Chains A and B, each alone.
Chain A
Amino acid sequence: MSETVARTRTEEIGPRRRRPARRLSYPRRAARALSPLLWIGPAIALIGVVVLWPVYVMFKTSFQRFTANGFNLGAAGWRNFTDLFDEPDLKSILVRTVVWVVVVVGVTMTISLGLAELFNQRFPGRRAARWALIAPWAASVLMTAFIFRWALDPQYGVINVFLHDVGVLKSFGSNQADWLGRPDSAFVWMMVVAIFVSLPFSTYALLAGLQTIPSELYEAARVDGASPWRTYRSITLPLLRPSFLVALLINVINVFNSFPIIWAMTRGGPGYETATSTVFMFQLKQAFIGESAAMSVLNFGLVIVVVLVFLKVTRWKDQVT
């Protein structure tokens, strides 16, 4: 609101102030045109050096040949890309990446809707309960993943101890207890951890969205005799859409690029059997830098395509403005 006020004000004042500028000498005019750079120049420089330039270097690297220890042997053409697409594991890694993103983000957003609703209710101790929700967000994802790796230890892990106590687990150290040793169960557990660490942000984003819904609307729905479910569907969900979409997009990007969980729990192994494309890129980087760069380029392209499709489908512009 205040921004639009400020905008109209400068538009009113702007031309009157700018008029004498026409009579300024050329150097003075140049100085005035460049003055924004004084303020935003450092930010542009930092983004350029740290964020944009690596993208260029990454593309360049994907067309170069390297020895295993990183010595540059010159141009490689499309070799790195053909090598990458010839990797027998690539297809399963890409499928696994899609499953990873869809399941983790899907489950996270669904649970978050419920949690946000729950923590938006009034009850004694709400503040403390909300605090507890922040824990996985504050602690580093790496450390959270290590906690689960320890808890799933086939011999002494506390989750196995619990499962043994309730009779699900037959014996310690068995194949059944080795959750992270089997690719399928390891991947499921890693998705559980990914959902766990994604929940706080999503829930808080939706909580913020819930609080922007005017209570008069609920009042009106109550007067009209609408059922709670009907109210939720017709008032809450549509008005929650902007915050939901923001949380969804940020989650998709974060989960796609997620590295520490898988690295801490299985290192992508055995082989590449629990690796997503981000982890695979890191594994390749140890010995095949060019091919790893090609994988990065592919990942980068995927993220951009997903974001663009998302913006198109959700008609983002109408949402934000």
Chain B
Amino acid sequence: MSTVVVTAPPTDISALPASKRRRPPTGRTVAISLAAYLVAIIFVLPYAGMIITALRPPAELQERGYVPRRWDWSNFTSIWKTGFGANLRVSLEIAGGATLLVLLVALPAAYYTARRKFRGRMLFLLLVLATQMFQPAAMLVGIQRQFVSYDLPSPTFSLILVNAGFNLAFAVWILNAYFSSIPSELEEAAMVDGTSRLGALSRITLPLALPGIVTALIFTFIGAWNEFIVALTLTNQPKEFPLTVAINNYVGQYSVDWGHLFAGSVIATIPVIILFAVIEGKVVGGLTAGSIK
């Protein structure tokens, strides 16, 4: 039962006959709606605060109005003079590199474990499951000493490896669930018709598993994009910092550059929101696919 649950409700309001659609809402529906909207507002409020503060003119930061008297985009233009462009590029390299590496490594492993029985299969899946319990924060000293002693070309390279390694488990589990849910008969039929195994894989199975692949990759990308503690430990130069470390650096010893901190946060959050939009509906199933079987 490793199918991926889609959150969309089975029946949509618009699918109902028109006579049922225009019923006046009951008191219960109104109460539920109001409660849900209230919760939704509470969840968005802090991020509205982030945007409002980013748009506050620097001179108005020391005022107590809820919204600024004048909207000001200067934080979004002047932030690029603080080296933020380089940080953005580093984050793209790390998250992109880690995602690519996870794709190359997780795809064959997940496919093989879903299709073939072999000695050590359970052992391998247990190993993967165990790493899902590990977090980089718990073994930070080990990671730091190991990667310092390896003398790798750049912190970006090390961070690609670390992020790929710690996101691999989830990708293997969700892809394994997806491949298992695709009947192998489909591949066999294609092979009977004269396609090679690789041809069947690329023309039948991969397209069918695409939603799962995209979900796994996006979760890897977001995880690497938002990673903080290892990046904080392995980077030294400002131009090596990914976004999270750069944003943390707007906090000085005695004062905080809130305008740039929040402008940077807004810029850093936009790609994540776009990516979440892509996998909307699979968010839930994606996360639990491997664990609830």
* Chain A residues engaging chain B, CB cutoff 8 angstroms: 1-3, 5-7, 9-11, 14, 36, 38-40, 42-44, 46-47, 49-51, 53-59, 61-62, 70, 115, 118-119, 121-126, 128-144, 146-148, 150-151, 155-156, 158, 161, 164, 172, 196, 199-201, 204-205, 207-209, 211-212, 242-243, 246, 253-254, 257-260, 263-264, 278, 281-282, 285, 289, 292-293, 296, 299-300, 303, 307, 320-321
Contact = CB atoms under 8 A, between A and B. Distances in A.
Given A39-B111, A253-B133, A53 B146 contact: yes
Contacts of A38: 108
B59 interface: no
Q: Which of A44, A47, A53 counts the most chain B CB atoms within 10 A?
A: A47
Nearest to B143: A54
Interface string B130-170: 01011101111111111010000000000001101110110
B261 to A, nearest CB: 6
Contacts of A50: 143, 161-162, 164-166
B230 to A, nearest CB: 10
Given A50-B166, A155-B62, A259-B137, A208 B284 contact: yes
Given A6-B115, A129-B40, A285-B141, A246 B228 contact: no
A14 B265 contact: no
Contacts of A258: 137
30 contacts: A9-B184, A40-B113, A46-B161, A46-B168, A47-B168, A50-B166, A53-B142, A53-B146, A57-B146, A58-B145, A126-B9, A126-B36, A133-B40, A138-B222, A138-B269, A139-B47, A139-B265, A142-B226, A147-B47, A150-B53, A158-B49, A211-B5, A212-B5, A243-B288, A246-B292, A253-B133, A263-B248, A264-B248, A278-B138, A281-B140
Interface string B1-44: 11101010100010000000000010001001101110111011
A132 B40 contact: yes
Contacts of A42: 104-105, 108-109
Contacts of A61: 141-142, 145
B69 interface: no
Instruction: Please classify the interface of chain A as helix (H, G, I), strand (E, B), loop, or mixed, using the class held by over half of its residues.
Output: helix
Given A6-B115, A51-B165, A282 B140 contact: yes
A138 B137 contact: no
A204 B269 contact: no
- Cβ-closest 3 pairs across A and B: A50-B165, A58-B142, A54-B142
B64 A58 contact: no
B229 interface: yes
B283 interface: yes
Contacts, number: 290
B216 to A, nearest CB: 13
Contacts of B269: 138-140, 143
A292 B143 CA distance: 13
B61 A156 contact: yes
A300 B139 contact: yes
Interface residues on B, range: 35 or more
Contacts of B81: none
B258 A150 contact: yes
A151 B127 CA distance: 43
A281 B141 contact: yes
Interface stretch (B70-78, B116-124, B189-197): B116-124
B5 A208 contact: yes
Q: Which of B3, B104, B172, B292 counts the most chain A CB atoms within 10 A?
A: B292
Contact of B7 (A47, A139, A155, A211): A211
A139 B141 contact: no
A46 B165 contact: yes
A3 to B, nearest CB: 4
Contact of B183 (A2, A58, A278): A2
A156 B39 CA distance: 26
A311 B5 CA distance: 25
Interface in B254-278: 256, 258, 261-262, 265, 268-269, 272-273, 276
A98 B53 CA distance: 35
B124 A40 contact: yes
A200 B44 CA distance: 12
Interface string B234-258: 0000000000100110010000101
